[in-house]
Structure 1
């Protein structure tokens, strides 16, 4: 059975690959799984049919037979467990890859997202100047620790895995802010992920949704 995912009908990121369905599209590509996409308007995302799948009214969701999932991390974890290609066979290496999936979402993503959201939405707020140094410090401490752990390795723990996919998916969203340039090994790590054929297909497919509605870009 071919699974169906949901995505923005008109993404606010203007096709830059920041929406979280990119991670799911990428994972599906890595495991060679064809899929369908159901595009949703912001209005449809808050209607009962979608809320039954995603109670917070977000994307992506994943449907396969009688299985319905939400949260990009959960969906990628399901794909990694149920198909070959994203988790090592050796038990300890598999456990470490899963740990990095959790670290990507629980440790790396929150300070990066908070920093990015403040840069976009809080610049005109009276508390911005006082709050931003704290957010910058948190983001850089996290990236510094990740940079130290990655070192000059190609991937975070041996061969490419779902741990790398989630880490790079998280880091990629901060790329436009310029902070990754301060950590050359992390920037190179993200670039290695970006040139993987499955990532390129996922990015192109997501971009195509936007350009189909905005042909002039």
Structure 2
């Protein structure tokens, strides 16, 4: 008699993402980080596409309290915030973090550094340039924002001198850092050749290309009809 061993069903992870966003945001919505991590880990997933009405619905707010993306569920957990999700996935795959505790701690450190030490300044500059461009107050304020961005980038460049990645090889820390650096204006990043090369190195990964295309495809399919 042959005994068949059944394989437990593992639910497919679901990641929430927008059905469509304006062109300036396409390719930069933060579900990209989670998609990239899943691609690096080789974990199949499905995107749950939402629109403006879904953002304020009771069902979606039970998954993502602020109505933003991404939110994530895989049958074991339901969570939100891109950095938290990527760190969760990094514990599932050695493609995203080492197996040893010290290595995982370093990955956590760099994920949080990208999100807390660099991204707020980069986002502040992007907000100024995109949403407040031409307003009188930006003439005085923008140079100060740029100065802070440059200071943070200089520190990061100093750390990366002579290194390909933040901690010896590509990890979730590099994934998050590279997505932050994508939002740095090219003329500012050009002051730091080490960071330009680092960003290019990270974004050349096939998993990033697959994640980016997966985000962009629905935007093309759901683009509003031309007026």
Please state which band the TM-score falls in when normalised by the shorter chain: over 0.9
1:18: which partner in 2? 28
1:202: which partner in 2? 211
Are the aligned partners of 1:15 and 1:211 in contact in 2 as well (CA < 8 Å)?
no
* Structure 2 stretches lacking a partner, 5+ long: 1-10
2:7: which partner in 1? none
Q: Normalised by the size of structure 1, how large is the TM-score?
A: 0.93
The superposition leaves residues 65-113 of structure 1 with CA deviations (integer Å, 9 ceiling, x where unpaired) of 1521100001001100123321112332321121001101011100000
SS at 1:105's partner residue? helix
Decide which moves more: 20-29 or 57-66: 57-66
2:50: which partner in 1? 40
The counterpart of 1:167, out of the listed 177, 180, 191, is 177
Q: How far apart, CA to CA, are the structure 1 residues paired with 2:39 and 2:134?
A: 41
SS at 2:65's partner residue? coil
Q: How far apart, CA to CA, are the structure 2 residues paired with 1:135 and 1:216?
A: 37
The counterpart of 1:125, out of the listed 135, 138, 151, is 135
The superposition leaves residues 177-215 of structure 1 with CA deviations (integer Å, 9 ceiling, x where unpaired) of 532222111111111111111101001111111111239
SS at 1:127's partner residue? helix
Decide which moves more: 106-115 or 181-190: 181-190
* Structure 1 stretches lacking a partner, 5+ long: none
Task: State the Cα distance separating 1:14 from its structure 2 match.
Answer: 5.3
The superposition leaves residues 115-151 of structure 1 with CA deviations (integer Å, 9 ceiling, x where unpaired) of 1100111123331111111111111111111111111
Quick check: which has more Rg, 1 or 2? 2
The counterpart of 2:168, out of the listed 158, 165, 185, is 158
The counterpart of 1:101, out of the listed 97, 111, 114, is 111
Task: State the Cα distance separating 1:216 from its structure 2 match.
Answer: 9.8
The counterpart of 2:18, out of the listed 8, 12, 22, is 8
Tell me the C-alpha RMSD between the 2 structures: 1.9
Runs of 4+ with deviation above 6 angstroms:
none
Question: Across the two proteins, how many residue pairs are aligned to each other?
Answer: 216
Q: Normalised by the size of structure 2, how large is the TM-score?
A: 0.89
Q: How far apart, CA to CA, are the structure 2 residues paired with 1:131 and 1:215?
A: 35
Task: State the Cα distance separating 1:2 from its structure 2 match.
Answer: 0.6
Q: How far apart, CA to CA, are the structure 1 residues paired with 2:31 and 2:13?
A: 14
Task: State the Cα distance separating 1:15 from its structure 2 match.
Answer: 6.8
The counterpart of 1:56, out of the listed 50, 66, 72, is 66
Are the aligned partners of 1:13 and 1:19 in contact in 2 as well (CA < 8 Å)?
no
